[in-house]
Amino acid sequence: MQWETVIGLEIHAQLATKSKIFSGASTAFGAEPNTQACAVDLGLPGVLPVLNEEAVRCAVTFGLAIGAEVNRRSIFARKNYFYPDLPKGYQISQYEQPIVARGELVIELEGGSSKVIGITRAHLEEDAGKSLHEDFHGMTGIDLNRAGTPLLEIVSEPDLRSAKEAVAYAKAIHSLVRHLGICDGNMQEGSFRVDANVSVRLKGQREFGTRAEIKNVNSFRFLERAINFEIERQIDVIEGGGSVVQETRLYDPDRDETRSMRGKEEAHDYRYFPDPDLLPVVLEESFIDKVRASLPELPAEKKQRFITHYGLPAYDAAFLTADRALADYFEEALKVGGCEPKLAANWVMGDVSAALNKAGLEIGACPVSAAMLGGLLKRIADNTLSGKLAKEVFEAMWAGEGDADAIIEKKGLKQITDESAIEALVDGVLAQFPAQVEEFRSGKDKVFGFLVGQVMKAAKGKANPAQLNAVLKKRLEG
Ligand code: ADP
Ligand code: MG
């Protein structure tokens, strides 16, 4: 039988505000448990929530970036449920009138095709606290620092048809919120969490199948695996004569499987109603205009500009613009270096990224600043450095030995480009290895590499490789 997969994602992005959505407590990650939860976050009786304007600004920014409807009037609602990390007994969310509705995002797929994914809505809500199951033998600890952190829940249409498409969409949203500066996107810290709704149906069937919702997958790799596992599981259930149950499932990366967590609630189970403590959010046109005017260049626009303006291949443009900080780094290095854009791109995508990966660092913490890389690029472009010497300089910059010019000076790493100096080196080597020269002249081309190596050695690695090759060839053939 031919099955088709249907997926819709609900993405929770923690908004990068300093204080919480309804209180003045800090949202900084990693503080001692329960040191950043004030009376409002604890849900003590008699307190009143006050909306953080910055959270609204973030939501509107997102709405405008995806060409969505930004609702001039939206409503906060109480979503009632009991959980130990939710002391009020309800979460303040938006239900019937979310702040953002009906947008879309174009995702790029393997092989260069693209697809438009509908975004049903994006609403503001507060995060819950955290239950800590690990450190307390036989008990669970409750940390309410996260309670009240602003979230934007971004709900997609069920437009995704494979795990790969779901990952491409999740990555595109991740890149977008980071570009917009409204979410730090840190998945380990839970700033960006993805729930996947997955169902299968027979090809050609109109109605959707029953879905299962996989909660809180914290990496793109796990998202792909969790969805693929879930697809197989559902197909097995149906082909075995059973039917899929609507439920919430958890992905276990250690066993690479999803497990049932609880039966799926329906909206009416939450008894949503407008929160009487909060006024409707009414947006003035001037506010929206101001947000629109402050929108940065979007990832897709940036990528296009990198292709047309810098003449970079699509792959390079996609790589560099996937992260705004990386794109900024590239542009700054290029400006300082004044070199070919492709040379700068190769360095950022190659040596810089490899060193960052190895050190487990983000571009923001790169010990070689964009200006320093630019200084290196300048010396490659003006032929002071060969590729090999440049790598040596880069390593020294990484180790904190100063900028490129200082290192070139200190280590005497200037490339030899003086033609007569190279000729002298070549002649010296040819005089030293007459047997090899004979071999070459009798047709054994392989010794050419050996002779190149000897000249480079004599030049202490500093001869310009292209010139060295040309001079050696000329002399051997002459
Ligand atoms: P809830 O809020 O109860 O989780 P929604 O109807 O708002 O339910 O849908 C949540 C997500 O599930 C959306 O992203 C939507 O696209 C997706 N979805 C809805 N029905 C299906 C289905 N049959 N298969 C896969 N995804 C679905
Ligand atoms: Mg849901």
Does the pLDDT value for residue 111 go beyond 90?
no
CB of 321 within 6 A of ligand 1: the answer is no
Residue-wise pLDDT for 401-443, tens only, equals 999 999 998 988 888 889 999 999 999 999 999 999 999 989 8
Paired strand residues for 105: 117
Residue-wise pLDDT for 44-59, tens only, equals 999 999 999 999 999 9
CB of 199 within 6 A of ligand 1: the answer is yes
Residue-wise pLDDT for 313-355, tens only, equals 999 999 999 899 999 999 999 999 999 999 999 999 999 999 9
pLDDT given at position 477: 86
pLDDT given at position 360: 95
CB of 157 within 6 A of ligand 1: the answer is yes
Ligand 1 atom nearest to CA at 208? 23
Distance in angstroms (rounded) separating the CA atoms of residues 293 and 232: 47
Name the closest-CA residue to atom 17, ligand 1.
8
pLDDT given at position 388: 87
pLDDT given at position 135: 82
Binning the chain into helix, strand and coil, the percentages to the nearest 5 are: 45, 20, 35
pLDDT given at position 67: 97
Please check whether residue 323 is in contact with residue 338, taking contact to mean a CB–CB distance below 8 angstroms: no
Q: What angle separates helix 404-411 from helix 387-398, to the nearest 10 degrees?
A: 110
pLDDT given at position 1: 73
pLDDT given at position 267: 77
Give me the mean pLDDT over the 275-291 stretch: 98
Residue-wise pLDDT for 121-160, tens only, equals 999 999 999 999 888 889 999 999 999 999 999 999 999 9
Give me the mean pLDDT over the 461-478 stretch: 90
| DSSP letter assigned to residue 349 | I
pLDDT given at position 415: 85
What is the 3-state secondary structure of 292-333?
HHCCCCCHHHHHHHHHHCCCCCHHHHHHHHCCHHHHHHHHHH
pLDDT given at position 225: 97
Give me the mean pLDDT over the 386-393 stretch: 91
pLDDT given at position 98: 98
pLDDT bin (cut points 50, 70, 90) of residue 383 is confident
pLDDT given at position 42: 94
Distance in angstroms (rounded) separating the CA atoms of residues 356 and 351: 9
CB of 6 within 6 A of ligand 1: the answer is yes
Q: Model-level pTM?
A: 0.86
CB of 74 within 6 A of ligand 1: the answer is no
Tokens standing for residue 380: 């490659």
Residue-wise pLDDT for 294-317, tens only, equals 999 999 999 999 999 999 999 999
Give me the mean pLDDT over the 88-97 stretch: 97
pLDDT given at position 216: 76
Q: For residue 142, how far is its CA from the centre of ligand 1 (angstroms)? A: 30
pLDDT given at position 433: 95
pLDDT given at position 420: 94
Residues 6+ apart with CB under 8 A from 344: 330, 333, 334, 337, 373, 374, 377
pLDDT given at position 266: 79
DSSP string for 412-472? T---B--HHHHHHHHHHHHHH-HHHHHHHHTT-TTHHHHHHHHHHHHTTT-B-HHHHHHHH
What percentage of the chain exceeds 70 in pLDDT? 100
Paired strand residues for 143: 130
Distance in angstroms (rounded) separating the CA atoms of residues 458 and 446: 20
CA distances, 208 to each of 201, 212, 214, 222, 233 (Å)? 6, 12, 17, 24, 17
Please check whether residue 96 is in contact with residue 270, taking contact to mean a CB–CB distance below 8 angstroms: no
Paired strand residues for 200: 5
Please check whether residue 145 is in contact with residue 15, taking contact to mean a CB–CB distance below 8 angstroms: no
pLDDT given at position 413: 86
Does the pLDDT value for residue 461 go beyond 90?
no
Q: Give the H or E element holding residue 52.
A: none
Ligand 1 atom nearest to CA at 9? 14
What percentage of the chain exceeds 90 in pLDDT? 88
Does the pLDDT value for residue 264 go beyond 80?
no
Give me the mean pLDDT over the 160-176 stretch: 97
Beta strands 3-14; 150-156: pairing state: antiparallel
Residue-wise pLDDT for 172-218, tens only, equals 999 999 999 999 999 999 999 999 999 999 999 999 999 999 997 88
CB of 328 within 6 A of ligand 1: the answer is no
Distance in angstroms (rounded) separating the CA atoms of residues 98 and 288: 16
Q: For residue 158, how far is its CA from the centre of ligand 1 (angstroms)? A: 7
Does the pLDDT value for residue 265 go beyond 80?
no
